[in-house]
Structure 1
Amino acid sequence: MRILLLSRYERMGQSSRLRTLQYIPYLKDHGVRTETASLFDDSYLAALNAGKARNPVTILHAYLNRLRLAPVLRRYDIIWLEKELFPWIPFVFEKRLLNGAPPIVMDIDDADFHHYDLSGNPMIRILMSSKIAGLMNLSALVTAGNNYLASYARKSGARAVEELPTVVDLARYPITGRNSGAEGTVTIGWIGSPTTAPYLNTIAPALRDLAHENSVRLVLVGSGDMAIDGVKPEIYPWTEDSEVDMVSSFDIGIMPLAKTPWELGKCGYKIIQYMACSKPVVASAFGANLSIIKNGQEGFLADGIEDWRRALRQLIRDPGLRLRMGASGRRLVEQRYCTGITAPRLLNLFRNIHSSN
């Protein structure tokens, strides 16, 4: 079986790395040849994360490179598409390009359709609001990162939809024996990107109060430079090589969210990373978080500042609770949220599509 993967980014892009690229070695071991053609390279994403403006020349060059793939699409058995071919280009152009192409497996792990259907620009809404739904309808299969995205795909008329969570490779997350129950300063940690870091401001009052009450440090990985009123965080860059060690250094992992339709498309990967490192979690009681965490078991779901204060205070003051919740979270990842579970599922999905064509 020969697959052409049309990913959005290279390995620096979290969605591309976790939703598609991390499965390629497993697929290869089982006789599937995957060739990758990313739309943007790591230098483009690094520039965005550094706060630089999007470069129109770079974008045009990337789009032309992808357009040149049109004549070779038929050489493959399956087209594995991350989200869309060309962001901000109307569906009619992508439909024409994909006409006569092999079966498409479309993967989505964000509510990208809300960039279009909830845009403040009426022309974008007119031209683009049904684009993602149209691509889903064209696809032989849509793999969705959570139930909200899967429901959208079904309502769009997708022929087949599978909910496939964003997961970790446990080979990269060994149980280290680091003691989250140790006495002394407690580390509250967050990992993400500059685009998700502003969510931390939604819980700034709780973080500020707890920092004044307790011996607490706040560690941010991948946020870029940012200020949180009344708190002085320690900020570290994200790298793929260091992320597991950084999360392992936390005592508590946090995932605040805003409450908008966009956040309903978030797949809770931070939570899964924390749990893979045996860390208790405090997360906003919203979206996919509700389906991952059982409140009081792997961590706490917080709805409002007082909930955040209460949950973090309880974990800060109870090392034993941190250990028990961390162990529970690790077991959950081993049972549901690792490539050992999802990779065989994905392989079978590809085989079924291939055999039916």
Structure 2
Amino acid sequence: MAKKNVLFIVPYPVGMAPSQRFRVEQFFPLLRENAISYDICPFLDVNTWRLLYKNSSSIRKVWGILSGYVNRWLVFFRLHRYSLVFIHREAAPLGPPLFEWLIAKVWRKKMIYDFDDAIWIPNTSAENKPMNALKSFWKVPLICKYATIVFGGNDFLCEFAKESGARRVLYLPTVVDTEGRYGKTKSKKRDSGITIGWTGSHSTLKYLNLIVPVLKRLETEYEFRFVVIADKNPAIPLKNYMFIPWNVSTEIEDLEKMDIGLMPLTNDKWSEGKCGFKLIQYMALGIASVASPVGVNKIIITDGHDGFLCEDPDEWHTALKELILNADLRRSICENGRKRIEQKYSIISQKNVFIDALKS
């Protein structure tokens, strides 16, 4: 078999974005073990990434994006070196799928396309509104058609790819390294009561609004601390609230402060496209998980066995109350959750899907 040399075309700087880190970058050691050589080509550099969603110099942002497009065009001078091109989410953030079309139709390269959100649906927030006005959301089905293989992060995304005319679609959930960074955690010594928490980015902070009324009710009845780990402080009005700025170097340590992890979602198509990464992190680290019964959450969690699925405020209140008061229940939920991740959402459980697709 000819030696594989893969070019990974990704949107973000290496080590910065959870989607890219866990769906692409953490598989790189496996590539080396399987004698697959690779290069990675991000669109954004680190400086532009850090500026993108801040109220800072528009000129610097524009320059950073233009530099990304220049680097994309330069790729074609060395594309002949690669037997396979792997594209995560999109080759470029704005405009039509020109680069994907050139790679697949002009250069006739085998192409794997990976996506883990319903990125064909506009999801506008205050931070991304200017950028979204220039995006071509309609390009996602075309990229699915161009690709040799499409990786979808859940069944909803896989079905969309099939309906778009993809030739071959493989289900690849987002996974964690249960033998490395997400190895079995030490017993948690608690000297300051229960900590409930949530982690995410500025774009998903809106989902916390669904759970704040429940937390306010709970804090009149029980003692607990509520922690948010994110890149922006939502300043939630709770008496025992703590914000921790997200940092890749302390990510695991910060998450382990939680006894109970939350994943509230609205019931809509955008949420159906989510791959439940919060739950996967919580459960891998022995954190009891409570989530909305939306999309893949219903697949990851078996209600009452390895987590709780709650639809209305009363269900959220009941589940959180039971987990606060019952240490044995928390322990059982955590142990079952960890087993679930090891079986279905770990690198070791999905590595053959990833490696075999690159070798095929």
TM-score under structure 2 normalisation? 0.90
Which one-letter code corresponds to 1:233 in the other structure? Y
Match of 2:126 in 1: none
Contact in 1 for aligned 2:45/2:64 (Cα 8 Å): no
2:194 aligned with 1:186: yes
How high is the sequence identity, in percent, across the aligned residues? 32
Which of 10, 24, 38 is the equivalent residue of 1:20? Answer: 24
Give secondary structure in 2 for the equivalent of 1:159.
coil
- Which of 101, 111, 118 is the aligned partner of 1:111? 118
Q: 1:231/1:184 Cα in 2 relative to 1: closer, same or farther (>3 Å)?
A: closer
CA deviation string 1:220-258 (max 9, x = no partner): 112422122445520111122211111222110111112
What is the distance in 1 between the residues matched to 2:344 and 2:103? Answer: 37
Q: Is 2:261 aligned against 1:250? A: no
Q: Indicate if the aligned counterparts of 1:106 and 1:143 stay in contact, CA closer than 8 A.
A: yes
Residue of structure 2 in register with 1:355 after alignment: none
2:53 paired with 1:73: no
Alpha-carbon offset, residue 50 of structure 1: 5.0
Residue pair 2:91, 2:97 contacting (<8 A) in 1 also? no
* Higher fraction of helix: 1
Residue of structure 1 in register with 2:288 after alignment: 280
Q: Distance in 1 between matches of 2:112 and 2:339?
A: 30
Post-superposition Cα deviations, 1:300-337, rounded to whole Å, max 9, x if no partner, equal 01112221111111111111100000000001111111
Change (3 A) 1:94 1:79: closer
- How far apart are 1:61 and its partner, in Å? 1.2
Report SS of the residue matched to 2:122. helix
Q: Is the 8 A contact 1:197 1:223 kept in 2?
A: no
Deviation for aligned residue 1:47: 2.7
**2:9 equivalent to 1:6:** yes
| CA 273–52 in structure 1, closer or farther in 2 if over 3 Å, else same | farther
User: Counterpart of 1:311 in structure 2: which amino acid?
Assistant: A
Q: 5 Å matches for 1:1-357?
A: 1-9=4-12, 10-48=14-52, 52=56, 55-92=61-98, 94-96=100-102, 98=104, 99-115=106-122, 128-170=136-178, 171-179=180-188, 185-230=193-238, 232-352=240-360
Of the structure 1 ranges 251-260 and 159-168, higher mean CA displacement relative to structure 2 is found in 251-260
Q: Secondary structure at the match of 1:196?
A: helix
Q: Counterparts of 2:174 and 2:146 in 1: how far apart (Å)?
A: 23
In the TM superposition, residue 111 of structure 1 has moved relative to its aligned partner by: 0.9
Of 154-163 and 187-196, deviating more is 187-196
Could you tell me how far 1:42 is from its partner in structure 2? 3.0
SS where residue 43 of structure 1 aligns?
A: helix
Q: Conserved in 1, the CA contact under 8 Å of 2:185 and 2:286?
A: no
Q: Would the aligned equivalents of 1:223 and 1:235 in 2 still touch at CA under 8 Å?
A: no
**CA displacement at 1:92 relative to structure 2:** 5.0
TM-score (norm. length: structure 1) = 0.91
Q: CA deviation at 1:183?
A: 7.4
Q: Which amino acid aligns with 1:146?
A: N
Is the CA contact (8 Å cut-off) linking 2:289 and 2:307 kept in structure 1? yes
Q: CA deviation at 1:175?
A: 2.1
Over 3 Å counting, the alpha-carbon distance change for 1:197 and 1:231 in structure 2 is farther
Q: Which amino acid aligns with 1:64?
A: V
1:245-294: CA deviations, max 9, x gaps?
A: 11222110111112222111110011011111111100111011111101
Q: For residues 185-210 of structure 1, what are the alpha-carbon distances to aligned partners after superposition, in whole Å with 9 as ceiling and x for unaligned?
A: 21001111122122111111001111
Instruction: Say what the alpha-carbon RMSD is for the aligned residues.
Output: 2.5
Q: Which runs of 5+ in 2 are unaligned?
A: 124-128
Q: Secondary structure at the match of 2:167?
A: coil
Structure 1 counterpart SS, 2:145: helix
Taking the aligned partners of 1:51 and 1:235, their CA distance within structure 2 comes to 21
SS at match of 1:115: coil
Give the total of aligned pairs.
348
Structure 1, unpaired ranges of 5+: 353-357
Q: Which amino acid counterpart does residue 29 of structure 1 have in structure 2?
A: E
Shift of 1:167: 0.7
